[in-house]
Amino acid sequence: MNAAVITLFLAIVALTLIITYFAAKRTKTASEFYTAGGGLTGWQNGLAIAGDYLSAASFLGIAGAIALFGFDGFFYSIGYLVAYLVVMFVVAEPLRNLGKYTLADMIHSRFDARKVRGVAAGSTITIVIFI
């Protein structure tokens, strides 16, 4: 085990938790959670979306798909882009409009049934198990 690697990892985790703590103290409503209370400029919002979309996992995943499947792996990146847009319009927009944080909260607000939340949680766990 490399002590420098473990120390750096723990420092990054600690810094992330500190930033999250101070950000959580400033966030009180759904509007503040999703859009920073309307205080973000277009440039800042674009950087946030790019940071989410252009993560290391997506770069490594696409590079791995191209390495394994050749040019056909390139089509995975196109599918990733299209799927991201679908999620933005189909899932994120209704969540923002309802002021909810999760898909289960959105379904519960529309159907108002406790069983619906259980089914949403169960389907999420099932999907995560198979990934």
- 48-80: pLDDT as tens digits: 777 777 777 677 888 888 888 888 888 877 787
Coil/strand/helix, residue 41: coil
Q: How high is the pLDDT of residue 112?
A: 67
Query: CA 30 to CA 21: how far, in whole Å?
Result: 17
Q: How many CB atoms lie within 10 A of CB 61?
A: 15
Query: CA 47 to CA 53: how far, in whole Å?
Result: 10
Q: Which residue matches tokens 């882009």? A: 81
Overall pTM > 0.85 = no
Q: Which amino acid is at 52?
A: D
